[in-house]
Amino acid sequence: MRLSKRPSSGLQMNMTPMIDVTFLLLIFFMTVSQVSAVNKEKLPLPQQQGSQDQSEAPITININEQGDIIVSGNRLTLPQLLAEVASELGKVNDDASRLTIALRAHREGNSRTVNQVVSALEKLEIHRVRIAVENSAP
């Protein structure tokens, strides 16, 4: 028994702009997640509220639990790090107040390497450093 006739012409949505936007968002998220991970090692940071939001820094110094200094994925010795910092200082006409340095250190590690780095930076007239912390609160 034939009850009804199906409509032959259905309403069709134009999917092209939606797919364009979706791909754009997808590529944006993929790119952003990769770029932000270049300078940052996977380290458990001290869990604190912090005093300010994180901003971009030309040099991000990572210190792992063993006390290794890692900058942009490369393990550096303290003199190598200082050479790197001096090179960045040169880019800002040796004005240390214009150079931002972020320090990311493993929360389980001791402070030996951090102290060495901080003391060395102070000798380069850098009197401020940004210590990264992990904010688990929403």
* Pairing of β 69-71 and β 74-76: antiparallel
Q: Is 9 in the site for other proteins (CB under 8 A)?
A: no
CB of 97 to other proteins, least distance (A): 12
Q: Is 61 in the site for other proteins (CB under 8 A)?
A: no
State the minimum distance, in angstroms, from the CB of residue 31 to other proteins: 11
83 binds other proteins (CB under 8 A): no
Q: Is 119 in the site for other proteins (CB under 8 A)?
A: yes
CA 103 to chain CA mean position, Å: 11
Q: Please, which residues have CB within 8 angstroms of residue 89's CB and are 6 or more apart in sequence?
A: 95, 96, 99, 124, 126
Does 87 bind other proteins (CB under 8 A)? Our answer is: no
The Cβ of residue 113 has, within 10 Å, a number of other Cβ atoms equal to 19
Minimum distance of other proteins from residue 7's CB (angstroms): 17
SS3 89: helix
CA–CA dist 94, 64 (Å, integer): 29
The residues binding other proteins (CB under 8 A) are 15, 18-19, 22-23, 25-26, 29-30, 33, 45-55, 102, 105-112, 114-116, 118-119, 121-123, 126-136
